[in-house]
Structure 1
Amino acid sequence: MKKINYITIVLLSLFIFSCTELDEIPVTDISPEGYFKDVATVEAAVLGTYGYIASEGYWGRKYTLTIMLRADMTDIGERGTPARRQQINDFGVDATNGMITAIWPRSYEIISAANYAIAGAESLTDADADQTALMQLTAEARLVRAFIYFNLVRMFGDIPYIDYAISDPASVADISKTSEDQVYEGIIADLEFATENLPVTPPDNSRSRPSKGTAYTILADVYLTLGNFQEAYNHAKWVIDNEAELDYDLESDYQDLFDATKQDATKEHIFSFDFLGSQSGSGSTNDDLTGALTGVRGADVQGWSVAVPSLDVYNTWDDRDYRKKVAFADSTLINGVLQPYTVYSTVKRPHIAKYFEKPGNSNGEARYSDHNYAAYRYGEVLLTAAEALNEVSGPTDEALGYVNRIRERARNWAGTTVDFPADVQTGISKDEFRNLVLEERRLELSFEFKRWYDIQRRDLGEEAFTGTNSLEPHSNFDSSRDYLLPIPQDELDRNPNLLPQNSGY
């Protein structure tokens, strides 16, 4: 599968709307009126959206670290890290927190870039333009827009919903919030358009660009979040039924999913963000800090020990599970000698290995990695189908079979077949199977920016943070407040129409 160098692509040559600045920000010195001339210029605009996603301001640190710390699988390690991160983790965040004041404008920059790409495609109506290609590019941009809005609405609830290109920033200076229900309507409409107009396989079969299967996969997740289990199952089942044509499969060795040198060839990725090793671009593009943030301070590859699981996360995970071995760095090289976590210099806990140990071409901190980060992979689709089908029909053989495919792969211990985890057997109750699937998601998708949304959509916060078996206790967790983050205060100061603030802030 071809890697795409988004850094070298001319980014969207137009004015980018940001709710933070409400100014015209020229990305290049080419006027937007003269930019869209053919399919190639529309494609360049679409690809520019991925440059914004694969950046420090979004997938490289701000968004992903926020979602990771918010959940119960990753705690703050080094307490000398900036307070904004600790506040996110400890449910002490306020509306001035630097993480959310960065995520909000970057999200709307991505959305604005997608909106302009859509407008550009729609402007090319002459007979010489390849309308099929333009329709596919429009579908791609609409999928990106839906993906970002899906993340925004889960983080903030009611938000401004803008689905058109902004030519006059002053026209939205006093925009009001849109209800969650209406935002979801827009998300679903965009994704349904994408299911109808995206190709079965993306260009060059690159998983960094979406296909019809990507749209069905995200729709399944949207419906799962909304509790529409029948539609969640229907969309996940479509992907499963068409896995051969879509070229999807489980990676035989779980470790290979997190080896940057092997990710370009994986069939398990459905939608990923491709960072290019040891390269950086303007505006923090291609700056991937996850390996550094999760890596071991004082190790030969110098991490920062910021996002580190609690000991309970490690100790409660069965040692017989190969996924535990892959997920954790419970030993690492220090001065050329393999040392256990008990002698790590600052945080004596096992660290996250998924992004730190095999970053490919990167710097000495595992930063600027060569990772392809899977926003969605096929293993998640199987678990979505299992969870949704259980809610519709109970723990059928089909539902059990999806989990057992995941467990069968987990029994491949680096080429050696083991007997753990065992298949799920018939006779399990609906409630028991629901809990089992959620636990399977917690382990299978550990540290992959999924767990917080599972806690949120299943209302598991009290159990996860204040229950007797809490892996990361936070007695101040408040379900009436903490499932959403506050709207950034600087946005409210500029535009009071965004009031009221989210409850509890």
Structure 2
Amino acid sequence: MSNNIKKLTIVWSALISCFLGIGCKKDLLNQNPLNQITDATYWQSSDDAVMFATRMYTYMPQDNFVYYEGMSDNGITNDPTTRRFGNSTQDPTISSKEWSYEPMRQAYSFFANVDKVPGMDATLKARLTAEVKFVLAYRYFIMVTLYGDIPFVNSLITDPNAADLPKTSKADITKSVIQWLDEAAANLPVSYTGADQGRATKGAALALKARVYLYSGQFVEAAAAAKAVMDMNIYKLYPDYYAFFQKDGDYSSEDIWSFGYTLSVRQNSLRDILGSQALMNGRNILDPTAELVTDYESKNGYYPYTKDPAYVATDPFNNRDPRLRASILCPGDIFPYPQFPNINQYDPFNNAGDRIGGDLGSRSGFSWAKNVDHYDYVRSGTNNWKAFRYGEVLLNYAEAQNETGGPSADVIAAVDQIRTRAKMPTVAQTFAINGQTVSQSTMRTFIRHERRIELAGEGLRYFDLIRWKIGEQVMQGPIYTVDASAGIAAISTANGHINKYPKTVIETRYFNNPKFYVWPIPQSAIDASKGILTQNPLWK
């Protein structure tokens, strides 16, 4: 392998894709025809195969995955498409975000051509093939999770007429996804070093397998896959929850697979999307909801937090689960951002940039701290997007195992790892302080709540609410701003400033139909077919 290829890391993948004219995009709207094929002169060396496999990672979750928070009860956004999914006014004209067969075409192009490479090392070929299968499995998983039954492309199609395929059931496609992940796990290394960090590992394939099974309601299999990751004994929670989502946590013991960014090649957009305007030069495109903030326990484990004897109405964000302030900027918070030493209080009532209702202001009165690069001051950031992490694996295991056999000691131990890292009381202590008894039902509720808090800001809440079928309960009715009717004591009222803000409706949401649990097939795809591809039944 040449020195140039050794220097090729995942962060280069998007740039390389642009140079080769394949996969260059800001989002996952790429819908290139299935009959486009790779230049036959390309497969001349092992370096070509490495570069092609590396390019596949552009189809994995990146920074824009965070927009799924805006489709859930965790977030509110001014991004037009995301907002319509969030308030359930979407339709087939805007549902193409994840409808793309370009990754499948690329994967099968790799499978069809890799054997042509002269003198290629068999171990390297097996590993690269496993990496491509990992990406292929993810792309089909995300499509069937959102669209349900879809056409199943399982070969390199060069004839446009042959690309007009009928739907295959979600269950059957999921079987292929699991098969690819099993094959990938068998040939992927446990870890990488140096420039190869960021490539798929055995743990990444097993973590995705656990998620696939969990989302499919196959709890025995999900628990087993998650336990396989745990039993590798190479992953553990990063000691500092906030720092894990900074560069500190990149390729750490908790980071199973992440999409990489660097200052010199490609920065992420997370500061732009999530960041406070006044403190971080962000744009407040996506804000946390006030209801999410309310859902955090007190630091002593009381739920709701107002039950805690230490609760003070004028200081409602103090004495709370530490993950609140590690994830969300609340009115009055002091957040000493290095580049803005003179503006360090988050104040959506008075600061021009963040003022509720302002051009770049917060809609809810809250802003994100989690995932926003605290160190490198560029328009965006250079911290990785952590797509699969050990904290999620523990929660996946706990949920699946509880559904299988109830709240066993193993279930409680997995959740307690999460709680201990967060500096929160254990499961037993929390249940006791709230006067609850541990059962399968109460543990289910507790685990679902813990998932919301632990994974907030990571885009996974949307997928949880659609698989739990709770949209009618949590995605209907008005979305409000912060309720600061009692005033926020930490905000000074000097110089004409205010520290009160009335609870105000931002928008109303309408998740009132089962069809919202599945996305409509894009109208553009239906129009391009010859009548074989039909709309999802609930959307007809």
Q: Report TM bin, short chain.
A: 0.7 to 0.9
2:49: which partner in 1? 42
2:453 aligned residue (437, 443, 447): 443
The one-letter amino acid paired with 1:381 is: V
Deviation at 1:119, TM superposition (A): 2.4
2:425: which partner in 1? 421
2:271/2:282 contact within 8 Å kept: yes
The one-letter amino acid paired with 2:80 is: A
State the Cα deviation string for residues 254-296 of structure 1 (Å, max 9, x = none). 1111212x1334110111111222534xxxxx6x323212222
Larger radius of gyration between Structure 1 and Structure 2: 2
Matched, 1:430 2:440: yes
2:129: which partner in 1? 138
User: Gaps spanning 5+ residues in structure 2: where?
Assistant: 1-6, 298-318, 432-436, 482-505
SS in 2 for 1:424: helix
Matched, 1:391 2:372: no
Distance change >3 Å, CA 290–CA 357, structure 1 → 2? closer
Structure 2: how far apart are the matches of 1:316 and 1:469? 14
Distance change >3 Å, CA 146–CA 197, structure 1 → 2? same
The one-letter amino acid paired with 2:252 is: T
1:375: which partner in 2? 387
Q: CA RMSD in A?
A: 3.1
Distance change >3 Å, CA 38–CA 140, structure 1 → 2? same
Distance change >3 Å, CA 38–CA 21, structure 1 → 2? closer
User: Gaps spanning 5+ residues in structure 1: where?
Assistant: 281-285, 412-419
1:456/1:483 contact within 8 Å kept: yes
Deviation at 1:5, TM superposition (A): 2.7
1:352 aligned residue (368, 385, 388): 368
Matched, 1:238 2:253: no
Deviation at 1:4, TM superposition (A): 4.5
Distance change >3 Å, CA 9–CA 212, structure 1 → 2? same
Matched, 1:22 2:23: no
The one-letter amino acid paired with 1:329 is: L
> TM-score under structure 2 normalisation?
0.78
Distance change >3 Å, CA 338–CA 144, structure 1 → 2? same
The one-letter amino acid paired with 2:242 is: Q
Structure 2: how far apart are the matches of 1:320 and 1:153? 38
Structure 1: how far apart are the matches of 2:453 and 2:410? 21
Number of paired residues? 461
Structure 2: how far apart are the matches of 1:252 and 1:222? 27
Trace 1:108-147 onto structure 2 (pairs within 5 A): 108-124=101-117, 128-147=119-138
Structure 2: how far apart are the matches of 1:401 and 1:473? 40
Deviation at 1:473, TM superposition (A): 8.6
Deviation at 1:378, TM superposition (A): 0.3
2:270: which partner in 1? 290
Deviation at 1:225, TM superposition (A): 1.1
Deviation at 1:111, TM superposition (A): 2.9
Trace 1:68-83 onto structure 2 (pairs within 5 A): 68-76=69-77, 81-83=78-80
Structure 1: how far apart are the matches of 2:410 and 2:63? 37
Structure 2: how far apart are the matches of 1:446 and 1:406? 14
1:150: which partner in 2? 141
Matched, 1:255 2:242: yes
Deviation at 1:428, TM superposition (A): 0.6
2:512: which partner in 1? 478
Deviation at 1:179, TM superposition (A): 1.6
Deviation at 1:103, TM superposition (A): 3.3
2:215: which partner in 1? 225
State the Cα deviation string for residues 135-156 of structure 1 (Å, max 9, x = none). 1111110010111111111111
Structure 1: how far apart are the matches of 2:377 and 2:138? 28
Deviation at 1:321, TM superposition (A): 1.3
2:96 aligned residue (91, 97, 101): 101
Distance change >3 Å, CA 401–CA 484, structure 1 → 2? same
2:344 aligned residue (335, 338, 344): 338
> TM-score under structure 1 normalisation?
0.83
Distance change >3 Å, CA 278–CA 295, structure 1 → 2? farther
State the Cα deviation string for residues 316-357 of structure 1 (Å, max 9, x = none). 323431111110122457793223233332225111111335
1:20/1:491 contact within 8 Å kept: no
1:324: which partner in 2? 324
Deviation at 1:206, TM superposition (A): 5.2
2:535 aligned residue (493, 500, 504): 500
2:495: which partner in 1? none
2:279/2:343 contact within 8 Å kept: no
State the Cα deviation string for residues 68-127 of structure 1 (Å, max 9, x = none). 211111113xxxx45323212211011112xx334323xx22332222222232444x6x
1:383/1:402 contact within 8 Å kept: yes
Structure 2: how far apart are the matches of 1:381 and 1:191? 16
1:272 aligned residue (245, 258, 270): 258
State the Cα deviation string for residues 402-439 of structure 1 (Å, max 9, x = none). 0001111111xxxxxxxx33343595111001111111
More displaced stretch, 329-338 vs 309-318: 329-338
Structure 2: how far apart are the matches of 1:205 and 1:396? 41
Matched, 1:313 2:292: yes
Trace 1:394-409 onto structure 2 (pairs within 5 A): 394-409=406-421
